[in-house]
Amino acid sequence: MPPPNIRSSYEHIVFHRSRENMVSASRMFLRYVILILVACVFIGPFLWLLSTAMKSGSENIFQYPPEFIPHSPTLENFVRVFDALPFLTYFANSVFVAAIAVSCNLVFCSLAAYPLARMSFRGKNVIFLTLISTMILPFQLMMIPLYSIAVNLGLNNTFLGLIIPHACTAFGVFLMRQSFLTIPHQLEESALMEGVNRLQIWWHVMLPLVKPALATLAVFTFIGVWGDFLWPLIIIDDQTKFTLPLGVNRLAGAFAKDWRLVAAGAILSIIPTIVVFLFSQRFFISGALKGAVKG
C-alpha cells in the first residue's frame, strides 16, 4: 500500500485531470451548439425557399403563424417552371458564360500574378498596390463607363460582353500572387538552369503547385458569374441570351409573382453552385488558407 502522501498526490492529480476533461468537454459542447445555431441561421432561408417551392396551390404561403412543413409536398412547381419559360436555354447560357469566364479568369489572373510574385522589376509594388486598391471600388461606380465601352465595341447582346468583366479580377491576381509566393525559389532556379523559359515555368512548374488556389479562385469566380444579375440586366436585351438570374426575375413578373414558381426557379438555379462547391471544397479550404500567407 502506497504512503498517504503519495496516494493523496495521485488523487489530487486525477481530480484535476478529470476536472480539466469536464471543462474541455463542456467547452466543446458549447462550441458545437454555437456552430449548429449559426448553421441554422445560414441554411434557414434555403430551407424556407425549398418549403415554399414544394407547397401546393391550396396552401397559403403567407399565413400567420407560418408553417414550415408543407401539408401535401409536391414537385409540380418545378415542372411548371420548365413549362412556363425556356429554362433549359437560360441554364445553358449560364453554363456557357460561367465556364468561359472561369477559364479566362484562371489563366489571366495567374499570368498577371506570376511576374508580381516571382520577378523583380521597377514599379512592381506600385503596380500591385494600384491593382489592389481597385478592389474598394464598387461595381456601380464602374457600371456606366463599362457599359459605354461595351456598346462602343459592339458587345451588347453578346455573350462576350457578359464574360469580359469577369475575365480578370484584382481579387484573382491577389490570391494567385499570394499562392505563388509560397513556392520555393529553388524550383524556379532549377528550371531556369535547364533552359526553360518563364512561360514554360509558369505552366509546367508553378500552376501544378497552386491547384488549391486555382480551385478556390474557380469557385469564387463561378459563384460571382452564376449569380450576377445587374450586369446581364444592363447589357442583354435579347431574351434568348438571358442567364438564369434574368430568367428567374422574368418568372417573377410573368405570373404576377407566384412565389411558388419563383422559389422553385431559385432552387433550380442554386443547385449548380452547391454541386461545384461540394466537388471542390477539399481544394477550396486549403486554397483559402494559403491566401493568407504573407506577401
- pLDDT, tens digit (0-9, with 9 covering 90-100), for 109-120: 999 999 999 888
Mean pLDDT confidence for 213-230: 92
User: Which segment of 55-59, 140-144, 152-156, 289-293 scores lowest on mean pLDDT?
Assistant: 289-293
In DSSP notation, 277-292 reads HHHHHHHHHHHHHHTT
Helices (H), the chain: 4-53, 76-84, 87-118, 124-133, 139-152, 159-163, 170-180, 185-193, 198-200, 207-209, 211-226, 230-235, 244-254, 259-290
What's residue 291's pLDDT?
46
Domain boundaries, the chain: 1-74, 80-290
Residues contacting residue 171 through CB under 8 Å, at least 6 positions apart: 135, 220
Output phi, psi for 271, to 5 deg. -55, -45
CA pseudo-torsion sign 199, 203, 209, 211: positive
Question: What Cα–Cα distance (Å) separates residue 141 from each residue in 55, 134, 157, 171, 220?
Answer: 41, 11, 22, 17, 21
User: Which segment of 14-28, 139-153, 271-285 scores lowest on mean pLDDT?
Assistant: 14-28
What's residue 293's pLDDT?
46
Looking at the predicted structure, is the pLDDT value of residue 84 above 60? yes
What's residue 9's pLDDT?
58
- pLDDT, tens only, 1-26: 455 555 555 555 655 666 667 777 78
Residue that wins the pLDDT comparison between 67 and 37 = 37
Chain CA centroid to CA 203, Å: 25
User: Which among 217, 200, 190 has a CA at the least distance from the CA of 114?
Assistant: 200
Percent of the chain residues past pLDDT 70, beyond the cut: 87
Residue 295: pLDDT band with limits 50, 70, 90:
very low
Residue 289: pLDDT band with limits 50, 70, 90:
low
CA 191/CA 5 separation, integer angstroms: 68
Tally of CA atoms within 13 A in the half-sphere of 91 that contains its CB: 15
Contact 150, 156 (CB under 8 A): yes
Residue that wins the pLDDT comparison between 27 and 223 = 223
Mean pLDDT confidence for 257-267: 84
User: Which among 197, 196, 266 has a CA at the least distance from the CA of 227?
Assistant: 266
Contact 88, 265 (CB under 8 A): no
Cell of 93: 447560357
CA 86/CA 36 separation, integer angstroms: 39
Pick the CATH number of 80-290 from 1.10.3720.10, 3.40.50.300, 2.40.110.10, 3.90.1640.10: 1.10.3720.10
Cell of 34: 454555437
Q: What is the mean pLDDT of the chain?
A: 84
CA 271/CA 220 separation, integer angstroms: 16
Mean pLDDT confidence for 40-52: 86
Looking at the predicted structure, is the pLDDT value of residue 261 above 70? yes
What's residue 294's pLDDT?
45
CA 185/CA 179 separation, integer angstroms: 13
Question: What Cα–Cα distance (Å) separates residue 233 from each residue in 56, 163, 218, 247?
Answer: 31, 14, 23, 10
